[in-house]
């Protein structure tokens, strides 16, 4: 089957849906493809909120820019930082128009939170489930828009370029162009052609590459892997943010997130002896940026041989705690932990990718007619480390920029009708699914053990050797198998694991989220606000 649209959007988080709504508002016909359902995206799990300067009496753009640069270890692109920070208030207004309900005080002003790395209170939120509130509001807007056709349970396998028209495409080919994507219908098993004037990649992060993650299990880096295989530019993959405080409950995947806002609220970290320890690592204590806190927790766990530490909020007013964090309170209570009386067991988990598909200020990738927005993109905003709550605002600001640029140019792009159908002649369904499931487990173990919070050349070399074997096995299996979600996801996480590991090997310094024992940071590199 061949489907033709003006815009093909792959992914259904805040980035994909806000782009879809903006181009659809101008009359464009949009296909919104997601591999499960509309509500399964990282956006829905974002608890903390959205960072934006709104209280001009105490806050300003310069402060937000400075906080972002400091958190990013001065690797952030100043243009990207300025773009996101200065455009944030306008996009907050847009979210409000789409029905997003941010918490307000009795006087009608926003009830702002402060999170680690921020010098002011500037986090807009909806209780402790901001992302869910945004996701549900956008879903309602998308569902009611007649110009958007939603394709749930559809999995993008490959983007279509000149490669599929018989041209040899290399990383040096100057005019690689995207004409759409081959998409697997998970209900029928057929791989269909989706042709489009413009394609947007909004497939989210890569957390599922690791054994322990706060991401939904759909976060297998599909968009990044597809663009890499299509010879597009992928950058900064070594910068994986591990959330320092995921709820420690063995067997949970994904791990439940204990939001950073709880530390902003006054919670303190303690080791299993009940002792505070952040004073040994950073003067900002529990409000230090995530990379510092995650390494501090990792260090405490390794030093004492423990598998978690504690987050203590018992000194705060119980009713206030319940009011601010109702979902966390309910989740912990279901496990027999009353957070108003008991310490919360926490441990770091893979949380956010700061790198991804390299894009310009319009959100366009190195491949013509292909845009990337949200966590799968690398705008340059985050640099070496993402400042808390900058991700959702980055997604809507760049979705807006991509929509404006695409709307200006899409009418001049022609659909390619000479794209061949997907060829799966001679393939069969894998006889033993265990081959795939076991390989997925192995990738998670390799990445967690050797390419985690603390790295070394020896660990990265070992990861390289192990991943290389899995890559060869998987490519052989893929070539003789019918396309399935399982084999495609395995292929993608191996590609993504390789990119993280290779780009980590190429960075001969400890910077931001990339910490290696072979290049320890010099004392002068320790920067504070």
DSSP labels, 284-295: TGGGS-HHHHHH
Name the pTM for this structure. 0.89
Q: Is the pLDDT of residue 485 over 80?
A: yes
Q: Are 53 and 356 in contact (CB under 8 A)?
A: no
In the prediction, which pLDDT does 449 show?
85
For residue 315, name the pLDDT band (cuts at 50, 70, 90): very high
Contacts of 425 (CB under 8 A, 6+ apart): none
CA distance 174 to 169: 9
Q: Is the pLDDT of residue 526 over 50?
A: no
**Boundaries of every domain in the chain:** 2-238+354-412, 246-348
For residue 45, name the pLDDT band (cuts at 50, 70, 90): low
pLDDT: which is higher, 238 or 522: 238
For residue 47, name the pLDDT band (cuts at 50, 70, 90): low
* Cis peptide bond prior to 95, omega within 30° of 0: no
How many of the other CB atoms lie within 10 Å of CB of 189? 12
Same topology for domains 2-238+354-412 and 246-348, yes or no? no
How many of the other CB atoms lie within 10 Å of CB of 37? 13
Average pLDDT over residues 106-125: 90
**404-424 core/surface letters (b: 16 or more CB in 10 A; e: else):** ebbbeebeebeebeebeebee
In the prediction, which pLDDT does 527 show?
45
Q: What's the CATH number for 2-238+354-412?
A: 3.50.50.60
Residues of the chain with pLDDT > 70, as a percent, come to 97
In the prediction, which pLDDT does 480 show?
87
pLDDT single digits (tens) 317-372? 999 999 999 999 999 999 999 999 999 999 999 999 999 999 999 999 999 999 99
Output phi, psi for 14, to 5 deg: -60, -35
Arithmetic mean of pLDDT over the chain = 92
Average pLDDT over residues 455-473: 95
Active site residues: 290
CA distances (Å), origin 492, targets 27, 277, 284: 34, 39, 38
Instruction: For residue 68, give the nearest of 387, 493, 472, 283 by alpha carbon.
Output: 387
Average pLDDT over residues 412-433: 85
Q: Is the pLDDT of residue 523 over 70?
A: no
Residues of the chain with pLDDT > 90, as a percent, come to 76
State the first-to-last Cα distance of the chain, in angstroms, to the nearest integer: 56
CA distance 329 to 316: 13
CA distance 241 to 239: 6
Q: What's the CATH number for 246-348?
A: 3.90.700.10
pLDDT single digits (tens) 75-91? 999 999 999 999 999 99
Q: Is the pLDDT of residue 442 over 80?
A: yes
In the prediction, which pLDDT does 252 show?
82
Would you call 243 helix, strand, or coil by DSSP? strand
How many of the other CB atoms lie within 10 Å of CB of 384? 25
CA distances (Å), origin 285, targets 11, 269, 296, 418: 37, 9, 10, 60
Q: Is the pLDDT of residue 528 over 50?
A: no
Q: Is the pLDDT of residue 472 over 90?
A: yes
pLDDT: which is higher, 97 or 429: 97
CA distance 212 to 101: 31
CA distances (Å), origin 9, targets 179, 194, 196, 321, 512: 12, 10, 9, 39, 31
């Amino acid at each position: 089957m061949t489907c033709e649209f003006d815009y093909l959007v792959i992914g259904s988080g805040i980035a994909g849906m806000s782009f879809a709504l903006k181009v659809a508002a101008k009359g464009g016909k949009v296909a919104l493809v997601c591999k499960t359902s509309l509500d399964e995206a990282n956006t829905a799990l974002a608890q903390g909120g959205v960072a934006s300067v709104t209280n001009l009496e105490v806050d300003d753009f310069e402060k937000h820019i400075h906080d972002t640069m400091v958190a990013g270890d001065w690797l952030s692109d100043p243009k990207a930082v300025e773009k996101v920070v200065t455009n944030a208030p306008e996009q907050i207004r847009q979210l409000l128009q789409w029905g997003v309900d941010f918490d307000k005080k009795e006087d009608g002003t926003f009830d702002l939170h402060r999170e680690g790395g921020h010098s002011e209170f500037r986090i807009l939120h909806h209780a402790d489930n901001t992302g869910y509130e945004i996701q549900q509001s956008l879903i309602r807007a998308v569902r009611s828009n007649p110009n958007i056709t939603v394709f749930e349970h559809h999995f993008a396998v490959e983007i279509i370029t000149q490669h599929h028209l018989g041209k040899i495409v290399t990383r040096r080919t100057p005019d690689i162009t995207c004409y759409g994507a081959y998409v697997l219908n998970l209900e029928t098993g057929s791989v269909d052609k989706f042709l489009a004037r413009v394609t947007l990649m909004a497939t989210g992060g890569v957390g599922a590459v690791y054994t322990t993650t706060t991401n939904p299990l759909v976060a297998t880096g599909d968009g990044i892997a597809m663009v890499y295989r299509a010879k597009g530019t992928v950058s900064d993959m070594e910068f994986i943010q591990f959330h320092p405080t995921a709820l420690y409950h063995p067997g949970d995947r994904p791990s439940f997130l204990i939001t950073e806002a709880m530390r902003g609220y006054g919670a303190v970290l303690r080791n299993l002896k009940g002792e505070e320890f952040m004073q040994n690592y950073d003067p900002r204590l529990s409000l230090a940026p995530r990379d510092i806190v995650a390494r501090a927790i990792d260090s405490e766990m390794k030093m004492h041989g423990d598998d978690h530490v504690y987050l203590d909020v018992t000194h705060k007013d119980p009713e206030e705690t319940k009011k601010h964090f109702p979902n966390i309170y309910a989740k912990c209570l279901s496990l027999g932990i009353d957070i108003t009386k008991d310490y919360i067991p926490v441990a770091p988990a893979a949380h956010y990718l700061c790198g991804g598909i390299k894009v310009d200020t319009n959100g366009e990738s190195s491949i013509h007619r292909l845009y990337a927005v949200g966590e799968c993109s690398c705008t340059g905003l985050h640099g070496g480390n993402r400042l808390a709550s900058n991700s959702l605002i980055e997604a809507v600001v760049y979705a807006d920029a991509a929509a404006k640029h695409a709307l200006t140019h899409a009418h001049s792009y022609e659909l390619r009708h000479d794209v061949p159908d997907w060829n799966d002649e001679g393939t069969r369904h894998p006889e033993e699914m265990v081959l795939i499931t076991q390989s997925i487990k192995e990738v998670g173990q390799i990445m967690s053990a050797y390419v985690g919070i603390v790295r070394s050349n020896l660990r990265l070399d070992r990861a390289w050797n192990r991943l290389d074997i899995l890559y060869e096995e998987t490519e052989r299996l893929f070539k003789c198998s019918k396309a399935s979600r399982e084999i495609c996801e395995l292929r993608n996480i191996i590609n993504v694991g390789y990119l993280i590991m290779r780009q980590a090997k190429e960075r001969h310094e400890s910077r931001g989220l990339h910490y290696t024992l072979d290049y320890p940071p010099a004392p002068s590199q320790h920067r504070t606000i």
